[in-house]
Amino acid sequence: MDYKVVVLISGGIDSPVAAHLLAEKGAEVSLLSLDNRPFTDESTLNIVDQLVEKLKERHEDISYHRGTFGHVQKHIASECDEHMRCLLCRRMMYRAASTLAEKIGADAIGTGESLGQVASQTLSNLESIDKDFEITIHRPLIGMDKNEVIEIGKKIGTYEISIQPSICCMLTPEEPRIRSDDFEIRNEEKRLDISDLMDQIEFKKIEG
């Protein structure tokens, strides 16, 4: 039986490497890119398209979906504590990936997170992000340092694509929370109509 994983892919260095590693181990990978406009621009989407094309050179069975997500970020920006934005956004991304996984019959979701590389990926925050999710979450890069990830990216041809100029997420706070707990997360999420925001996401399978 095929094991299908929805892998969240951005224009960064890590997520295409994670997708490659999962595909290399035999998973059927469906990539999900979330369109964060107006908090990013077309350059990021173009980079993701290039990364998908490069990954398909090695793993031709990879499929690719894009989902609208800017409306989710707008609500987080207007309703929630700015220091918690990255955590809340990541949990909503997990929910989007879980929604697509249910639609296409996937068994798990995958991410390019690794421990401690950025503020949202501390052990405390990863634990908080994982709460309330029944679906399996794979993090093939979890114990790698950045140099290891870069070397794999260079080997598979994604690194040079990922380092092209683009606009990073404009919602990232100057002082993001590096520690969090369930109570704080759930209190902030009460400010959001999560079901409605998820219902508004439009998924499109990108062919080619």
Q: Per residue in 114-164, pLDDT tens?
A: 876 555 667 777 877 787 899 999 999 998 999 999 999 999 999 999 999
Q: Per residue in 56-98, pLDDT tens?
A: 999 999 999 999 999 999 999 999 998 888 889 999 999 999 9
Which residue's structure tokens are 């879980």? 98
Q: Within 13 Å and on the Cβ side, how many CA atoms surround 69?
A: 28
Which residues face 108 on adjacent strands?
5, 136
Q: Go through the domains of the chain in sequence order and give each one's CATH number.
A: 4-199 (3.40.50.620)
pLDDT of residue 172: 74
Give the burial class of 112: count Cβ atoms within 10 A of its Cβ; 0-12 exposed, 13-18 middle, 19 or more buried.
buried
Longest dimension (CA), the chain: 46
